[in-house]
């Protein structure tokens, strides 16, 4: 199915692309929140480091994997760069070191991510140091939340509710990428907030597909998922799982562009989607059978 994008109407155009129907054709919904490569002029003007340093924050071209894997599923892909605003952080994870409005925010959260410089607006990157030449005004950050953060989450929530309404269940697969974790480390990490965001059966069927592909994997370590899973999972009816792919699986040796492994990685993701959908639809059939008895 061809991509169906929201209408481009100047500043009203949302900061993400929607692929697939507003009424999902599958109980599986895909989200790619960190692969954005749109760097607004205001961001470029405020950077104190070369742009290439900020691109380290990207889940570099994992959207290429998701686009190859996707068939009829509805999928959202954020265009804005993560350096501009991080969709996987709470609105309250505002960093007072760079955000003039942080102290005035309702119940700001001084999380470990904020203290490490990776709050709602990332402040620093290991190896590059501080990102910005100046602090951002409260109104600047509020505008990013209103124009770039909330539209994505609202669209994702609506899509998941529509899938649930149609199928009785919805499963969000939140697709990310990670740096190589070293010899012997996992190359795929599945996060379910330690069992809080999804029934174990969905993670279990994904694990089977990864084992079949002979790719080392882990569950919740070192990535258990974050705000997207916390915000969108609804016990028993909307399940949410984060999937992290090692970038060396699908990028070229320079780590810059999709490489020879992109199609093989997409096939693994496709197998995950199929396994989760089969599990979800089986559960739906069983619930209908029980209701009829």
Rounded Cα distance, 29 and 156, in Å: 9
The pLDDT of 5-22, averaged and rounded, is 72
Rounded Cα distance, 258 and 286, in Å: 41
Phi, psi of 212 (to 5 degrees): -65, -30
Q: Is the pLDDT of residue 1 over 70?
A: no
Rounded Cα distance, 57 and 177, in Å: 10
pLDDT in tens, 16-49: 999 999 899 999 999 999 999 999 999 999 999 9
Structure tokens at 255: 């780590």
Residue 7, pLDDT score: 39
pLDDT in tens, 200-215: 999 999 999 999 999 9
Residue 235, pLDDT score: 86
Average pLDDT over the chain, rounded to an integer: 91
3-state secondary structure at position 74: strand
Q: What is the pTM of this model?
A: 0.91
Structure tokens at 105: 């925010």
């Amino acid at each position: 199915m061809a991509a169906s994008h929201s209408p481009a109407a100047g500043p009203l155009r949302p900061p993400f692309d929607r692929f697939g129907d507003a009424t999902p054709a599958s109980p599986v919904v895909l989200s790619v929140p960190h692969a954005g490569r749109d760097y607004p002029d205001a961001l470029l003007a405020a950077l104190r480091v070369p742009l290439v340093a900020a691109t380290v924050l990207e889940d570099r071209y994992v959207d290429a994997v998701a686009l190859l894997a996707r068939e009829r599923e509805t999928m959202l892909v954020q265009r804005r760069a993560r350096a501009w605003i991080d969709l996987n952080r709470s609105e309250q994870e505002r960093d007072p070191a760079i955000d003039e409005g942080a102290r005035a925010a309702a119940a700001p959260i001084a999380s470990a991510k904020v203290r490490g410089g990776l709050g709602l607006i990332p402040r620093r990157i290991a190896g590059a140091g501080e990102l910005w030449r100046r602090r951002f005004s409260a109104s600047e950050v509020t505008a990013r939340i209103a124009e770039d953060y909330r539209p994505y989450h609202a669209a994702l929530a609506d899509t998941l509710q529509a899938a649930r309404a149609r199928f009785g269940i919805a499963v969000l697969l939140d697709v990310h990428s990670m740096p190589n974790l070293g010899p012997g480390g996992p190359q795929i990490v599945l996060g379910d907030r330690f069992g809080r965001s999804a029934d174990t059966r969905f993670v279990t069927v994904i694990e089977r597909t990864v084992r079949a592909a002979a790719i080392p994997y882990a569950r919740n370590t070192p990535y258990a998922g974050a705000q997207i899973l916390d915000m969108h999972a609804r016990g028993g009816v909307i399940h949410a799982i984060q999937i992290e792919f090692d970038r060396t699986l699908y990028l070229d040796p320079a780590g810059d562009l999709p490489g020879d492994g992109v199609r093989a990685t997409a096939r693994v993701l496709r197998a995950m989607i199929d396994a989760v959908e089969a599990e979800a639809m089986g559960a739906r059939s069983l619930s209908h059978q029980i209701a009829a008895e």
